[in-house]
Structure 1
């Protein structure tokens, strides 16, 4: 059984910069945007399409290998959870561990995204950041049954990330640190209600 880590959070939150600090060392991290950027710098005009194809191939190889690996995925759109469900369905014995980056200050995400684009990396429009930021918890609540473990990472105004709480199935509440931010406390209340009603697991086994 493999553990698939999903490094998640709105654009500009610091997933690419700090995500590796919150997962085990020496496992592959697949990021479609970073793969696409490599092809962009090589001069390919269709770098996005090539990057997405290479990303899909890399994830497929990791799934076939049966080894632990990580995917960087915003989880701010329904399509992201559709993809996560597809990854999960490859082998129901695999576990999904979401490492969720979030912050009280969306301005932090907006400024980081602006600086990233200025440095020549991909552009994420402010409206998209606002949309993903606002939808993060609603989508997580709706798809909690896909998740086996959740680690909450708060990104403070200084930009320093730290683990402020966590959850694992079949618990009905988060384990929060005393200094957990308001967003984590609110998420805890939401998940308590959802987990009692929604988490109904089927027997696990490999896909036939």
Structure 2
């Protein structure tokens, strides 16, 4: 059975830097994760240099390029019945509709979700990344992604067959929960479960059990 692998979570949580290392090595060798944020940043700079357009206009062109490239890649995977790997944010229903599309095609859905304790951590990490030459993200998008990802995951977690939830706020990443075929297991004691998890994912939290 082919699998759709998704790396999701807050900006600055480590989706690009650490996420791929947490998936099967052979998978990543064969299927490099589609990273829309990184691709947009690269194409935006490229369009500015090539066309001499404004940063805003280059951003629109980059968005169009990313959307077209993503559509081509995921449709190709579906046509060939192959695994597909991508990272991103799931704050819109459209993102979950795509998951349903893969599910209808008999794909297994595997999500790695990387969360952070506070919005401030997310903002700080993106700022530091940008200062070091990495891609930047507007503040309003960081906030939207931080809360929106949790809100939508709390609504739709039952669509996911294999779900691993991590807290990457500190250097030592915590494995908080695992969901496999609608059976949710928590891996740390109730009094140590972070607030972002219990408050941000109340439906999921109430559906699980502690080991």
TM-score, with normalisation over the residues of structure 1?
Answer: 0.77
1:1-208 aligned within 5 A: 1-25=1-25, 26=29, 27-43=31-47, 45=58, 46-89=61-104, 91=105, 93-158=106-171, 160-171=172-183, 173-178=184-189, 181-182=193-194, 183-184=196-197, 190-191=203-204, 193=206
Question: Number of matched residues?
Answer: 191
SS in 2 for 1:143: helix
Displacement, 1:35? 2.3
- The separation in 2 between residues aligned to 1:78 and 1:170, in whole angstroms, is 21
Report Cα offsets for 1:92-112 as digits up to 9, x if no partner. x10111100002132221012
- The separation in 2 between residues aligned to 1:194 and 1:80, in whole angstroms, is 23
Point out where structure 1 has 5 or more consecutive residues left out of the alignment.
196-208
**1:192–1:113 CA distance, 2 compared to 1 (3 A):** closer
SS in 1 for 2:16: helix
Q: Report if aligned partners of 1:150, 1:167 keep a CA contact under 8 Å in 2.
A: yes
Q: Report if aligned partners of 2:155, 2:203 keep a CA contact under 8 Å in 1.
A: no
Q: Which range moved further: 30-39 or 139-148?
A: 30-39
- The separation in 2 between residues aligned to 1:138 and 1:129, in whole angstroms, is 14
Point out where structure 2 has 5 or more consecutive residues left out of the alignment.
51-57
SS in 2 for 1:34: helix
- The separation in 2 between residues aligned to 1:67 and 1:112, in whole angstroms, is 34
TM-score, with normalisation over the residues of structure 2?
Answer: 0.76
- The separation in 2 between residues aligned to 1:81 and 1:124, in whole angstroms, is 22
**1:188–1:80 CA distance, 2 compared to 1 (3 A):** closer
SS in 1 for 2:18: helix
Displacement, 1:29? 0.7
Q: Report if aligned partners of 2:151, 2:200 keep a CA contact under 8 Å in 1.
A: no
Give 1 or 2: higher helix fraction.
Answer: 2
- The separation in 1 between residues aligned to 2:140 and 2:41, in whole angstroms, is 22
Report Cα offsets for 1:96-133 as digits up to 9, x if no partner. 11100002132221012112333454432223222322
Q: Report if aligned partners of 1:10, 1:76 keep a CA contact under 8 Å in 2.
A: no
Q: Report if aligned partners of 2:150, 2:201 keep a CA contact under 8 Å in 1.
A: no
